[in-house]
A and B are shown apart, each in its own frame.
Chain A
Amino acid sequence: GQQVMQIPQYQHVQEGEDFTTYCNSSTTLSNIQWYKQRPGGHPVFLIQLVKSGEVKKQKRLTFQFGEAKKNSSLHITATQTTDVGTYFCADSGGTSYGKLTFGQGTILTVHP
């Protein structure tokens, strides 16, 4: 079935450094959703990307969808301690439309 690979699995940064997580698939992604899960919490929806080459921004967060729709990325500029958590990408398409397939997640630690 559809597989979504997310890298890196862990990322440790100093506060103020930038952070990027990547989401890749060997097949074309239908659309990508990004979620954030704080430690001990539940996933919270951040954004959805649908169009090839799409770029969306939310304050310090920049989300991109690849031209071939086989990859996506989330970039955080100047991390803060409040950015700590696990970031997941999820594809909601392919052969099983509507069923989200999640990547393994990237655990971000921010050192003050």
Chain B
Amino acid sequence: NAGVTQTPKFQVLKTGQSMTLQCAQDMNHEYMSWYRQDPGMGLRLIHYSVGAGITDQGEVPNGYNVSRSTTEDFPLRLLSAAPSQTSVYFCASSYQEGRPQHFGDGTRLSIL
């Protein structure tokens, strides 16, 4: 099993560009989530999903969109990148809400 796979691992964007961060898991987990990690601030929840077709906002959702058309995939879209979105993004999954989460390797994103 690959677990949680995130692509790309690194990305540099210009302000105003859009892009999609990919996340896929092969553990048949219902719960998936996106976090951003900034120095000194821990991990902050952006969006999460409790199953295919169901998504909801987390603590810092502005500037990001998500969709969940399948159990396996949970992409994160940046609509118009801003320097404040420079961060490390982690996707995570668990078989149920509140259960231990399995994290992907992360995407290191820089917005110039």
Contact = CB atoms under 8 A, between A and B. Distances in A.
Contact of B48 (A93, A99, A102): A99
B103 A43 contact: yes
Q: How large is the interface on B (under 10, 10 to 19, 20 to 34, 35 or more residues)?
A: 20 to 34
A101 B97 CA distance: 13
A48 B101 CA distance: 11
A85 interface: no
Interface in A53-112: 88, 90, 92-93, 97-105
B95 to A, nearest CB: 12
Contacts, number: 58
B97 A42 contact: no
B43 A88 contact: yes
Contact of B103 (A1, A44, A99): A44
B74 interface: no
Interface string B15-57: 0000000000000000101010000111111001010000000
Interface of B: 31, 33, 35, 40-45, 48, 50, 58-59, 90, 92, 96-106
Interface of A: 1, 6, 9, 30-31, 33, 41-45, 48, 88, 90, 92-93, 97-105
